[in-house]
Structure 1
Amino acid sequence: MRRALSLLSAAALAAAAFLASGPPAAAADADLVRNGGFESGLDGWNCSAGSGAVVSAPVHGGGSALRATPAGQDNARCSQTVTVKPDSAYTLTAWVQGAYVYLGASGTGTTDVSTWTQTPGAWKQLTTGFRTGPATTTVTVYTHGWYGQPAHLTDDVTLVGPDPGGPGQPQPPAAPTGLTATATSPGTVALTWTASAGAASYTVRRDGAAPLTVTTPSATVTGLAPATPYTFRVSAVNAAGESPLSAPATVTTPPGGGDPGGPALPAHALVGYLHTSFANGSGYLRMADVPASWDVIDLAFGEPTSATSGDIRFQLCPVSECPGVETPAEFKAAVQAKRAAGKKVLISIGGQNGQVQLTTTAARDAFVSSVSKIIDEYGLDGVDIDFEGHSLSLATGDTDFRNPTTPAIVNLIAALKTLKARYGPGFVLTMAPETFFVQLGYQYYGSGPWGGQDPRAGAYLPVIHALRDDLTLLHVQDYNSGPITGLDGQYHSMGGADFHTAMTDMLLTGFPVAGDTSRVFPPLRPDQVAIGLPATPNAGNGHTPPAEVDKALDCLTKRVNCGTYQPHGTWPGLRGLMTWSVNWDRFGGWEFSRNFDAYFG
């Protein structure tokens, strides 16, 4: 009886202590989303295919909101990975505006959740909840729109639940410190910074270019333009998320040549195709009569004896078709006179009617042999690749541009590398693909899950990438093209400054291929890029008036006179312009070349 009383007294004392102090402390609920109001731009958020941007109006709260635009097969998904506590309940909310706007969480360890609104109009609050699994330490929260729908808005995203803080819980690393940038050549910058504790990798960002991921606290950035300022920032990443950005580091690259192998082009070059093997409504023009404005002259065309032979032949236009055509001896003398004056004369292979498919190693070897004979006979500086239509028709097996397997592409790359090695560093290599084969790779590439899309879309990407160190100039044909989605998620159509700005910005910024951020096509150097346009309305669909051409050049090289499209950088080293063709420019009173000369002096 005495012992029982003693136990009862102890229990009473314990109860009194509990009532006085309350239950044991539990983790307090907190909002775990970083920058949920988008007041710090897109810091903490990743948006697919460059679909997201921060706007100042309309907003739900604060001074900013997220505007995301679906395009093509991309649904404008913006996401953030958040550290959570296992076996805990969380509530996810956001305010949205637009039709078919989704809010959800994945990787919960239990049941992933989402909710959505299908009516446009005023701001609406979306709310959903979930419980984390017993071993779940991170979840991904996201918002996205729907295919073919207009842009939507998201603001004030919150994830409220137990704060996972405390020892043993994963946390994003701190922002890197001590970032330094050193220009080691006209086209290269070396970066170093102090390692962040707990970082698994680092993300390097530069002036809107595609991010670069490295695993050590240093990076080498290549493909830059000479005499150009660049600003870099770095963040640290681990399984719990991404740190804030480091303080910026700015460096200016030294002046110097950027041409692969030093082909000695002027800082701004004018490229034109010369109709040498055929006649059309523009009339024949003798090589000796090509004005000095033209820095690179592409002889159109070397054509195959059959689509798959690889055997390329070139001949001057017959007298019956081209009255006034020079003799072969006169033509060769005129070529050498142009070269003596510092011009580059190339054999352009393919064209609209010249289908070249190097589907076998025999065709590859025949290509190298026959092209070499043309270069040697006429004393040329190099090769222009103008494969169109079905020349890359078998490019259906490649799903990664970095590792092509399609024979027609593999053999073309090998052939061009052989020619480069044969003729040495002065060999000029240019390419003139259509937008379908390059920029459309931003939406579609390979034979992946993109429905009935032509699998050749973006098929030039592995060729350009494999030869980027040998490539003198890429001048994509910004004409005879349908609307193309830019990095802003909007469609752009031919004939105006925005189209050329958007298409060129993709080449100079880089872009995720088919919306896959693990396959980012790296940017080219500005000195490797020229804008391709028709010289007159007669020369092709998409003729652009000179005033619009100048606006595009202003926007890309000076960041002024930009239209609705805002590029991700400023590139004063942009090489210049290409046109189809010298003959059509003469037909149009030399308007195209005169405008180029006036703009670049």
Structure 2
Amino acid sequence: MARRVLFARVAALATLLLGATFLAVVPAYAGSVTATFVKQSSWDGGYTAQVTVRNDSGSAVNGWKVELELPQGSVGAYWDALQTNQNGRYAFTNREYNGAVPVGGSVTFGFNATGNGSPANCRINGNPCEGSTTPTTTTTPPPTTTTSVVQPPAGDKLLVGYLHASFANGSGYVRMKDVPNEWGIIQLAFAEPTSVTSGELRFSLCPVAECPNVESEAEFIAGIKQKQAQGKKVLISIGGQNGQVQLTTTAARDAFVRSVSAIIDKYGLNGLDIDFEGHSLYLDSGDTDFKNPKTPVIVNLISALKTLKAKYGSAFTLTMAPETFFVQLGYQHYGGQGGADNRAGSYLPVIHAMRGDLTLLHVQQYNSGPIMAPDNQYKQMPSVDFHVAMGDMVLGGFPVRGDTSNVFQGLRQDQVALGLPASVNAGNGHTPVAAVHKVLDCLMKGQNCESYKPRGTYPNLRGLMSWSINWDRFNGGEFSREHYAYLNR
């Protein structure tokens, strides 16, 4: 990810002014886990719904499943849950970040539906959605109509965008509160180390001399809370083009954990983005098994990330933004084997070790040289074939160094977004809007492909990442406007 003149990432959601009709479908019962339905907005032939899972039982809930039927319609887009459909009975289960519900707490998910009928035969964790114990004396208020700002239907697709928070980069400074609503994950660029090997990270807002319109720190934190209240995630991104981070010692590892935690706590952030570039990651001679790495900078980074995940729990959001050199190049080269660069494929052991805790991988599919794909043909950016092949490799997996006995398994579809520059100013490899839509059609539907055919279809691809929110604003918002609408059409 370039810093002083370069690129961006993506994630989305939008905030609309809607007339929201609130319908309580079930009475409240004491001492149990319940699920209640609210029709937030409606139109001719459909509506947007929100379901609240509330825990009024005597112990914490770790995982939930809401089952329901729609006698007069069907579910379309959905968000903040995973969904399956068995003969018209829909099952929504928690995502990795909202499965834990403390006593007295609640979480929400939503969906779009056709028709106008409310859900029927609702069950929460196998019990009636209205609860399974003695009813309370609480009465259900009648339906009311109100107008309010609500989160728009983002489905399971989103845009991830990098925000130049600590520098201007020629694109202009964007205050946190002014980040457009299409961006669902906002990556603060960047926290950088005090030295390459210290592990000690620092983050501060852009200096007034460089960014005359920079907000105060209090306003910045208030802006973060505002975005989070709208359902967005705000993360601190570590590294970037200038931020080389080599955790060569356990002392550096511990300093990394301590200083990253301090930044997250100070600003109230949702998690961490790893954007290690340059020489931050590499593989020592003889370190040839990505499933069992031995190189200290790899081992210590994995340990640090696992420590942070354990500290903050299931709600912790972890993303990664490697370049193709560190991931897809691993199909042809891994480390220094055969005289290759010892950094080739060096993100693979980190991704593999963290795959159970990884929220999103968005490889930078720009500023890349030719990469050999599984059809053993080189793909060059910014062609449709390049983007389809790069996406197919992390979704479908690939044999490392072509060894079919040593396969990097693909990630879940909801863990993958495609990284692209927001404009021609943002990075080398800008892809026109129409071509990006062909890439999405090919990967998600098996349609509009060119010569490279993906090994499967990936309808649950999470979305797009871009460098950057600032460059997109500089370019009139084309990236966020066009791609958010296309992903969530």
TM normalised by structure 2 equals 0.70
Q: Deviations for 1:538-588, whole angstroms, at most 9, x for unmatched residues?
A: 110000000000000000111110111100111110000000000000011
For residues 387 and 596 of structure 1, what CA distance do their matches in structure 2 show? 26
Task: Look up the match of 2:260.
Answer: 371
Task: Look up the match of 2:162.
Answer: 273
Query: Which secondary structure does the structure 2 equivalent of 1:303 belong to?
Result: strand
Task: Look up the match of 2:377.
Answer: 490
2:161–2:186 CA contact under 8 A, matched in 1? yes
How far is 1:597 from its partner? 2.2
How far is 1:315 from its partner? 0.2
Q: Could you say if the C-alpha distance between residues 462 and 480 of structure 1 is closer, same or farther in structure 2, counting changes exceeding 3 Å? A: same
For residues 228 and 309 of structure 1, what CA distance do their matches in structure 2 show? 50
Q: Could you say if the C-alpha distance between residues 255 and 530 of structure 1 is closer, same or farther in structure 2, counting changes exceeding 3 Å? A: farther
1:334 aligns with 2:223: yes
1:364–1:412 CA contact under 8 A, matched in 2? yes
How far is 1:398 from its partner? 1.9
For residues 253 and 392 of structure 1, what CA distance do their matches in structure 2 show? 47
Q: Could you say if the C-alpha distance between residues 485 and 348 of structure 1 is closer, same or farther in structure 2, counting changes exceeding 3 Å? A: same
Q: Could you say if the C-alpha distance between residues 561 and 279 of structure 1 is closer, same or farther in structure 2, counting changes exceeding 3 Å? A: same
1:439 aligns with 2:328: yes
Query: Which secondary structure does the structure 2 equivalent of 1:299 belong to?
Result: strand
Q: Could you say if the C-alpha distance between residues 228 and 572 of structure 1 is closer, same or farther in structure 2, counting changes exceeding 3 Å? A: farther
* Of 263-272 and 281-290, the range deviating more from structure 2: 263-272
How far is 1:254 from its partner? 7.5
Task: Look up the match of 1:512.
Answer: 399
One-letter code aligned to 2:279 = H
One-letter code aligned to 1:275 = H
1:557–1:574 CA contact under 8 A, matched in 2? yes
Q: Structure 2 unaligned runs (5+)?
A: 1-63, 66-81, 100-108, 110-153
One-letter code aligned to 1:260 = E
Task: Look up the match of 2:310.
Answer: 421
Superposition map of 1:575-586 within 5 A:
575-586=462-473
One-letter code aligned to 1:588 = N
Q: Could you say if the C-alpha distance between residues 254 and 512 of structure 1 is closer, same or farther in structure 2, counting changes exceeding 3 Å? A: farther
For residues 257 and 472 of structure 1, what CA distance do their matches in structure 2 show? 16
Aligned length, in residue pairs = 356
For residues 395 and 355 of structure 1, what CA distance do their matches in structure 2 show? 17
The answer to which structure, 1 or 2, has the higher relative contact order (CA under 8 A, 6+ apart) is 2
Q: Could you say if the C-alpha distance between residues 386 and 281 of structure 1 is closer, same or farther in structure 2, counting changes exceeding 3 Å? A: same
For residues 269 and 350 of structure 2, what CA distance do their matches in structure 1 show? 22
Query: Which secondary structure does the structure 1 equivalent of 2:391 belong to?
Result: helix
Task: Look up the match of 1:461.
Answer: 348
How far is 1:396 from its partner? 4.2
One-letter code aligned to 2:431 = T
2:283–2:336 CA contact under 8 A, matched in 1? no
1:390 aligns with 2:279: yes
For residues 271 and 216 of structure 2, what CA distance do their matches in structure 1 show? 22
Query: Which secondary structure does the structure 1 equivalent of 2:363 belong to?
Result: coil
2:283–2:346 CA contact under 8 A, matched in 1? no
Identity %: 67
1:272–1:298 CA contact under 8 A, matched in 2? yes
How far is 1:262 from its partner? 3.8
Q: Could you say if the C-alpha distance between residues 396 and 323 of structure 1 is closer, same or farther in structure 2, counting changes exceeding 3 Å? A: farther
One-letter code aligned to 1:520 = V
Q: Deviations for 1:141-190, whole angstroms, at most 9, x for unmatched residues?
A: xxxxxxxxxxxxxxxxxxxxxxxxxxxxxxxxxxxxxxxxxxxx99xxxx
Q: Structure 1 unaligned runs (5+)?
A: 1-184, 187-224, 230-250
Task: Look up the match of 2:300.
Answer: 411
For residues 524 and 482 of structure 1, what CA distance do their matches in structure 2 show? 23
Query: Which secondary structure does the structure 2 equivalent of 1:518 belong to?
Result: coil
Task: Look up the match of 1:260.
Answer: 96
Task: Look up the match of 2:390.
Answer: 503
Q: Could you say if the C-alpha distance between residues 482 and 255 of structure 1 is closer, same or farther in structure 2, counting changes exceeding 3 Å? A: farther
1:349–1:383 CA contact under 8 A, matched in 2? yes
Q: Deviations for 1:259-282, whole angstroms, at most 9, x for unmatched residues?
A: 434488950010000000011111
One-letter code aligned to 2:185 = V
1:396–1:456 CA contact under 8 A, matched in 2? no
Task: Look up the match of 1:31.
Answer: none
Task: Look up the match of 1:284.
Answer: 173
Task: Look up the match of 1:128.
Answer: none
Q: Deviations for 1:456-476, whole angstroms, at most 9, x for unmatched residues?
A: 100000000000000000000
1:482–1:494 CA contact under 8 A, matched in 2? yes
Task: Look up the match of 2:416.
Answer: 529
Query: Which secondary structure does the structure 2 equivalent of 1:390 belong to?
Result: coil
2:361–2:415 CA contact under 8 A, matched in 1? yes
How far is 1:508 from its partner? 1.0
2:210 to 317, 321, 329: 321
Superposition map of 1:167-246 within 5 A:
227=84
For residues 361 and 259 of structure 1, what CA distance do their matches in structure 2 show? 32
How far is 1:305 from its partner? 0.3
Superposition map of 1:110-129 within 5 A:
none
Superposition map of 1:549-588 within 5 A:
549-588=436-475
For residues 228 and 541 of structure 1, what CA distance do their matches in structure 2 show? 42
How far is 1:446 from its partner? 2.5
Task: Look up the match of 2:269.
Answer: 380
For residues 298 and 497 of structure 1, what CA distance do their matches in structure 2 show? 26
For residues 461 and 226 of structure 1, what CA distance do their matches in structure 2 show? 29
For residues 202 and 176 of structure 2, what CA distance do their matches in structure 1 show? 19
How far is 1:600 from its partner? 2.1
